[in-house]
Amino acid sequence: MEFVHTGMDLIIGFIGLFFLTRMLGKTQITQITTFDFISALVLGELVGNAVFDDDTGILKILFAIAVWGVLIYLLEIITQKWKKTRAFLEGRPTIVIHRGEINREALKKSKLDINQLQHLLRAKGAFSIREVAYAVLETDGTINLLKKQQFESPTKSDFNLPIESAVLPFTMIIDGEVLLDNVHEAGFSEEWLKNELASRSITGYREVLYAEWLEGDGLFLQKFKPTS
């Protein structure tokens, strides 16, 4: 009977965790952050203790999973509804290489050393820091990079083409909210951005889902789709 009880607890715990994962969405697996990792450990610990504790029944297993799931779900709702909470609750990407130069202060704040940075760059196919124009440390601990033009594949040097400076796109609007720091860093003013939107018959930021500026290509934007 003891084996049967343990087996039933495992099955119930498995089903509960499965439905919780489905409810919370795929980002819990594919884009796991530090908090998501801790959440997974806590959930595993809750189910593990419940399975091997004779005083804990199936209802307690489901209750523990449900409460923890609700807390995580509420956190996701908060970050979706109130954009200003995202930086605090989820963190924000950090530029660790800017225009080919290592940002040492950014590395220190991210608790990252040069060897770890090199490891992350090699995982992205950049075996020398001199190949990288920009590198961004994402909130999930991965790194994304933009190589210098001469090191792109196929390289322009192979075809004797003129080599241009690498440029980084500036995100200017997300979810209807303007990012003025990025607008100013790109060398523009808010008045310029408003004029650009007006030229496309857009009266306010709330109409724009996403907008970014890329030197040479100009302003790209996507409006919110009307709800049916």
Q: Counting beta carbons within 10 angstroms of the beta carbon of residue 126, is it exposed (0 to 12), middle (13 to 18) or buried (19 or more)?
A: buried
Judged against a pLDDT cut of 80, whether residue 54 lies above it is answered with no
Helix-strand-coil split of the chain, %, nearest 5: 55, 15, 30
Do residues 139 and 99 lie in contact, with contact meaning Cβ atoms separated by under 8 Å?
no
φ and ψ of 218, to 5 deg = 85, -155
Average pLDDT over residues 151-159: 75
* Pairing between β-strand 132-137 and β-strand 101-102 as defined by DSSP bridges: unpaired
pLDDT confidence of residue 59: 72
What's the confidence (pLDDT) of residue 203? 92
The pLDDT of residue 28 is 45
pLDDT of residue 29: 46
pTM of model > 0.85: no
- The DSSP secondary structure of 98-121, one letter per residue, reads ETTEE-HHHHHHTT--HHHHHHHH
pLDDT over 50 at 26, yes or no: no
Angle between helices 58-81 and 2-24 (to 10 degrees): 10
Mean pLDDT of 133-146: 87
Q: In this predicted structure, which of 21-30, 33-42, 124-133, 189-198 has the lowest mean pLDDT?
A: 21-30
Q: What tens digit of pLDDT does each residue of 88-125 get?
A: 666 678 899 998 888 888 888 888 888 888 889 889 98
- The average confidence (pLDDT) of the chain is 79
pLDDT at 13 over 80: no
Nearest to 151, CA basis, from 165, 123, 131, 134? 131
Q: Which of the residue ranges 77-81, 144-148, 200-204 would you say has the lowest mean pLDDT?
A: 77-81
Q: How far is CA 141 from CA 14, 27, 37, 44, in A?
A: 28, 14, 11, 22
